[in-house]
Structure 1
Amino acid sequence: MSSAQSVIGSDKIAGRPASVAHLFLSRVKATPDAEAYRFPVPVDEHAADSAPGAEQWRSLSWAQTAVRVQNIAAGLMSLGIEAEDRVAIASSTRIEWILTDLGNMCAGAATTTVYPSTNADETGFILANSGSKALFAENAAQLAKAVGQRDQLPALATVILIDAPAERPEPEGLTVLTLAELEERGAAHLKEHPDAVRDAVDALDPEQLATLIYTSGTTGRPKGVRLVHDCWAYEGIAQQESGLLRADDVQFMWLPLSHVFGKTLISGQIATGHVMAVDGRVDRIIHNLPLIKPTLMASAPRIFEKVYNGIAGRARAEGGAKYKIFLWAAKVARDYARTAQANRIATGRDSVPLALSIQHAIADKLVYAKIRTAFGGRLRGSVSGSAALAPEIGYFFMGAGVPILEGYGLSETSAGSAVNPAEDVRIGTVGLPLPGTEVRIAEDGEILLRGPGVMRGYHEDPERTAEVLEADGWFHTGDIGELGPGGYLRITDRKKDMFKTSGGKYVAPSEVEGKFKALCPFVSNILVIGNGRNYCTALIALDEPVIMQWAAEHGQSGRSYAEVVGSPEANTLIEGFVKKLNGELQRWQTIKKFAILPRDLDVEHGELTPSLKIKRPVVERTYAEAVTEMYAGANEA
């Protein structure tokens, strides 16, 4: 490991409560009438002026939120749920996810998170491994997964349905309630025991289990990450102290709350008391942004890439002068952001040459203002995490006035470990450690983290815990990185993803993949291959809306997506971008051959995790024939 001089950050943060449940009750007391949450609800279909599928947004104050949370907590107690009993949530992101999670914590229980997209077999494993006694299921489909694995789940006694079906299911051996019925039970319980929730919260210990989040992993069964109440209380206060979240923010939450990235932002929101608009439907993001007008939004890099590709695709479709203007404006945005950042680091001022400043002002009126309007017009920052952001994408949005605050963290660190401050974003880095988190670079370049947000181990798995967590609290992330000027952290690659060619040269695939995403507006996913080979190749999946628009413009209307991406024209198109990419790489990094995949990678086929990370071994196995063909006849040294 590196010397103590390489440690940056602090392991102390003052004034945090014992739990987020404490933080929540304090927030309710401090600002009971302030708006806490917004969420969409269907308009009454019988209303005279309602259209099919119409929605309206409703709000909950902190006091109103507290009533529902306390009723849920008391309802769980009435079912016999006790301290540290696991209660699972299998639901998409919606207001009820937050209410039930807070209800769990205020009852002293621990939440087991389950992605709604998780298949029945893995859902059964998570519920069994966690020993969950109750399950909040979004709908009958989520209930069916538990019922199908019933023989593996001796601890599971109760399922609470968030969306009540027309006919109540009555699976053998399970009590099924609706969420409304649970809340009614809770209200009745509180009439008899008015101090029940307060007493349960007062009894919480900072080291008591609060959450089990199961890592999706790339191979084998997922691991249950044990996060205690102190992890979340720390995250809430650290996000507040860092300035990442502010009391006057309006945050748009669409991220999956089963993932640690989304869940950690709930802690910060409770600490600051700002408004959170909640709607997890990805296909509604573009529609919701102008309605919500957020000041802050968190996202995975893939969303920014899709937005950029969409903007470029529309400009290309308009053709002629408009496309040339977009290409010019995109270059100006990157040049402006890159120059301003370099001067800020060197002199402390975001100065740019006058000529570039004038070009930027013109481009702002022609292009950037429209982009900001599409994001709602008030976005002061968009937090990016869960995967690497291509720097060229970051420079583009920064120059357009939509700064992306790239951050860093893992499930094992309660997500938030480092983030770029809004006032000093340094693209290409993941920012500064959050207050209270220490960062250390080992001798082999691995990033080590220590602080209150680090997990207390993997659930019932001491051997794998010992592999990554040292006795003195340092957690081995498996990521390679370095500390730059000002203590900013830069991620080079996943330690396990880096490979060595047969010529002995190391390749960081994410670096190559990020460069290609910035160059090629048609790419959706790319996987660089070359471990033990004498050259690198790539599997490339194309963005369907963008490539289909291109196809319509080039005489391929009526063809299916698979026909378009398999055409010689598409191959020639992508080959041009690969040649551009190779011009920016070292010889041993260059892509000698590539294959365009017949469909995009997705969660359903197991090729992406729910947080949209590529499962490299799965993709390589699925497309082993294409990989073999790219190396056919090669002299594998």
Structure 2
Amino acid sequence: MPLQPSVLPDPSAERYDPALLTDRPASVGALFRDRVRRTPDRIAFRYPTTDADGVDTWHDVTWSQADRRVRRLAAGLVALGIGPEQRVAIASGTRYEWALADLAVMRSGGATTTVYPTTMPEDVAYILTDSESVAVFAENAAQLAKLEGIRDAVPALRTVVVLDGDVASAADPGWVVTLDDLEARGAELLETDPGVVDARIDGARPDQLATLIYTSGTTGRPKGVRLLHRTWTYQAAACQAMGTLGEDDLQYLWLPLAHVFGKQLLTINLQLGFATAIDGRIDRIVPNLAVVQPTFMGAAPRIFEKAHAAITMAIAAEGGVKQRMFDWAVAVGGQVADVMEHGRRPSPLLAARHRVADALVLRTVRARFGGRIRFFISGSAALNPDVARFFGAVGMPVAEGYGLTESSSAAFVNRLEAWQTGSVGWQIAGLEVRIADDGEILLRGEGIMDGYHNNPEATAEAVDADGWFHTGDIGELDERRFLRITDRKKDLFKTSGGKYVAPSAIESSFKGICPYVSQLVVHGDQRNFVSALVTLDPDAIGAWAAAHGMAGRPYAEVVTSPEVRDLVQGYVDELNGTLNRWETIKRFTILDHDLTVEAGELTPSLKLKRKVVAERFADVLDAHYT
């Protein structure tokens, strides 16, 4: 798949209609209504249903069909007594009904509180209480049971709407309704007051609260980030200004919709009108891509790391001519991608070699991802540059971006016509950026949060008197204003010898070197050397074990074996060869289990909870220094 050369010299060369940023709908509800009016018969969403044999069937929903259902659900919320800016929580995984529920809240004038389905009951109680949520969309019986267990701790909560299933399991059926029940109540209200939903949309203001997203809390109690309607309409307009996406695109969306990245991707299709296929099952991503054949997808770096490792290890297992041909083709694709990145076109000879490489190898790799991917978007954590180069080489460039919940997701992103591997690209239209004296990235603009809910002290710490949001990330802008993230300010540590170490950069590098790794946790604050915890990907190391006489042995036995220790040591030695002396990993321990979201060691967006891990494995880490 041919790339376009990077030709723009700096962000000021971007061309977009300024009216995109100034002439915006007042609210997300108005944005959705406008989209329905413009393209009522185009596909808006695709979603799967699974039969008893586990076979998926995909269903298409047009914008007008989605509108009819959302309108009834919004009216149902009005019938429940939901008023302007009143919070309605959604405790569910990523699914089509999440989108319906959120759009219904937007059109009713309410505000959505997002809740990860994996959140522990005590944290759910805190979020619902702090947000003053009066209703909750609960995904299933398990989420309903969680809410029933904390009901006494959340006195403001009046109603639970179950997305999947009935209310038979409810201890108090009068407290619970199904999604169909809510829709029926809305249909009844619309018969007597057909303009009730439009009246709510017309009454919504740009500065009205739209969403409360609680930071996933890599440290401490989560904070509720207040995002207004103008925040989301700005994000949608700024993404359109890039000119990368259009109505004919098809998005595959699996990211947690409780996370700001997923929520943003669910909002920009209202502006641009492309279709979105929704399925949050992580184990179905690759199979679904082959069926859905999307043109783009957003993901966390771990997804790209796993896919890269699976492909390269499968080829390595083949060996011989097949591996040599694969390596040659990827090398040729990499040369073309590098030329394009520097604003040039490949020579006729290189272009001819690339056509052969594409026909023999690269096209086959793309077919595993559906064959129509124009690009991926990577966010939420640093992507290893070698992994990014691999995908660029096979013709599926990864547009790495940067943003935070507090910046309503996107702040910087690489463009297909202007990208730089290892950077997070240019700032989006309308966003101001400064680099503080200590290297911290400061942001200002309409995408910045309204503050932390019920937490003025934290807000004052994060946003200064001039409106600059202090991100807590360290970075630098090059001469073309591409931003490179160095590390999280709070994650930087100093060894006892006085040397600073950026752990996430080392961790990202290792994931590009070792195809078996799942997590590397670098440690060494005030220690005399750097050490690490290592976890291995169960699928990858399982394949290795089967090829090395350990088939069928338990994961814990395999990863703690001397053979695997030697395997990992080789990759650590390779990593150390790229590091400064004080950064090198002198000792490491391979844990007998992987880190997980369910255990509270990773956030739902797959970011490491560094403090939690350090505290949980303090004895293991301390043993490195005894």
The residue that corresponds to 2:215 in the other structure is: 215
User: Is the contact between residue 7 and residue 440 of structure 1 (CA under 8 Å) also seen in structure 2?
Assistant: no
TM-score where L is the length of structure 2: 0.95
1:449 equivalent to 2:443? Answer: yes
Q: Which residue identity lines up with residue 313 of structure 2 in the other structure?
A: G
Matched residue, 2:602: 608
For 2:557, the equivalent position in structure 1 comes to 563
For residues 192 and 167 of structure 2, the distance between their equivalents in structure 1, rounded to whole angstroms, comes to 32
| Residue from 405, 420, 426 that aligns with 1:432 | 426
Q: Which residue of 1 aligns with 2:321?
A: 321
State the Cα deviation string for residues 539-565 of structure 1 (Å, max 9, x = none). Answer: 111111111111111111221111111
What is the correspondence of 1:341-380 to structure 2 with a 5 Å cutoff?
A: 341=341, 343-344=342-343, 349-351=344-346, 354=349, 360-380=354-374
Question: What is residue 225 of structure 2 aligned with on the other side?
Answer: 225
Please identify, of 238-247 and 116-125, the stretch whose mean Cα deviation from structure 2 is larger: 238-247
**Residue identity opposite 2:166 in structure 1:** P
1:385: how far off?
0.3
Residue from 11, 14, 23 that aligns with 1:15: 23
Are the aligned partners of 2:226 and 2:450 in contact in 1 as well (CA < 8 Å)? Answer: yes
1:26 partnered with 2:34: yes
Q: 1:502 aligns with which of 496, 499, 506?
A: 496
Separation of aligned partners in 2, 1:26 and 1:381: 27
1:379-528 matches, within 5 Å, as 379-528=373-522
Judged with a 3 Å threshold, the aligned counterparts in structure 2 of structure 1 residues 213 and 553 are, in CA distance, closer, same or farther, namely same
Aligned AA (2:515): P
The match for 2:542 is: 548
Whichever residue aligns with residue 109 of structure 1, its letter is: G
Percent identical among aligned pairs is 52
On the 8 A contact 1:211/1:228 being kept in 2, the answer is yes
C-alpha distance in structure 2 between counterparts of 1:88 and 1:166, whole Å: 18
Query: For each residue in 1:530-585, what CA deviation from the matched residue of structure 2 results, as whole angstroms up to 9, or x when unmatched?
Result: 11112111111111111111111111122111111101111111111111111111
502-511 vs 445-454, greater mean Cα deviation: 502-511
Residues of 2 paired with 1:487 and 1:243: CA distance? 19
Q: Deviations over 1:149-188 (max 9, x none)?
A: 111111101000111237252428x621100010010011
2:580 maps to which residue? 586
Deviates more, 1:470-479 or 1:397-406: 470-479
Residue 219 of structure 1 aligns to which amino acid in structure 2? T
* 1:337/1:396 contact within 8 Å kept: no
Once the two structures are TM-superposed, the CA of residue 447 in structure 1 deviates from its matched residue by 0.4
Name 1:337's counterpart in structure 2: 337
**In 1, Cα distance between the equivalents of 2:143 and 2:164?**
11
Distance between the aligned counterparts of 1:500 and 1:494, measured in 2?
13
Q: 2:122 corresponds to which residue?
A: 121
C-alpha separation in 2, matches of 1:595 and 1:390 = 22
1:144 aligns with 2:152: no
- Residue pair 1:245, 1:268 contacting (<8 A) in 2 also: no
Task: For residue 602 of structure 1, give the secondary structure of its aligned residue in structure 2.
Answer: coil
Tell me if 1:270 matches 2:270.
yes
Paired AA for residue 288 in structure 2: N
What is the DSSP-based 3-state SS (H/G/I as helix, E as strand, rest coil) of the residue aligned with 1:81?
A: coil
**TM-score computed with the length of structure 1 as normaliser:** 0.93
Which structure 2 segments of 5+ residues have no match? 1-9
Aligned to 1:196: 196
Report if aligned partners of 2:331, 2:393 keep a CA contact under 8 Å in 1: no
1:415 Cα deviation after fit:
0.3
Which letter does structure 2 place at the counterpart of 1:143?
Answer: L
Does the 8 Å contact 1:493/1:509 carry over to 2?
A: yes
Q: 1:325 offset after TM fit, Å?
A: 3.9
Q: How far 1:324 sits from its partner (Å)?
A: 4.1
Q: Which moved more, 1:621-630 or 1:223-232?
A: 621-630
Taking the aligned partners of 2:122 and 2:313, their CA distance within structure 1 comes to 40
Change (3 A) 1:59 1:515: same
Cα distance in 1 for residues equivalent to 2:319 and 2:274: 43
Query: Residue 485 of structure 1: CA displacement?
Result: 3.0
Amino acid at match of 1:520: C
- Name the count of aligned residue pairs: 613
Identify which range, 182-191 or 367-376, moves more after superposition.
367-376
Please give the alpha-carbon distance, in whole angstroms, between the structure 2 residues aligned to 1:466 and 1:153: 28
Where does structure 1 lack aligned partners over 5 or more consecutive residues? 1-5, 46-51, 633-637
Q: Aligned-pair distance for 1:464?
A: 0.6
Q: Aligned to 2:480, what secondary structure does the other structure show?
A: helix
The answer to whether structure 1 residue 111 and structure 2 residue 112 are counterparts is yes
2:45 — aligned with what? 37
Q: Which amino acid aligns with 2:31?
A: L
Cα distance in 2 for residues equivalent to 1:168 and 1:629: 49
Q: Distance in 1 between matches of 2:145 and 2:399?
A: 40
Answer whether contact 1:37 1:276 (CA < 8 A) is retained.
yes
Cα–Cα, structure 1 residues 522 and 474, in superposed 2: closer, same or farther, change >3 Å? same
Amino acid at match of 1:16: R
- Tell me the equivalent position of 2:3: none
In the TM superposition, structure 1's runs of 4+ consecutive aligned residues that sit over 6 Å from their partners are 6-12
Are the structure 2 counterparts of residues 608 and 152 from structure 1 closer, same or farther at C-alpha, using a change threshold of 3 Å? same
- Other-structure match for 2:251: 251
2:288, 2:110 → 1: CA distance? 33
The answer on 1:288 being equivalent to 2:288 is yes
The farther-off stretch of 331-340 and 108-117 is: 331-340
Q: Is the 8 A contact 1:334 1:392 kept in 2?
A: no
Aligned-CA RMSD value: 2.0
Q: Is the 8 A contact 2:47 2:58 kept in 1?
A: yes
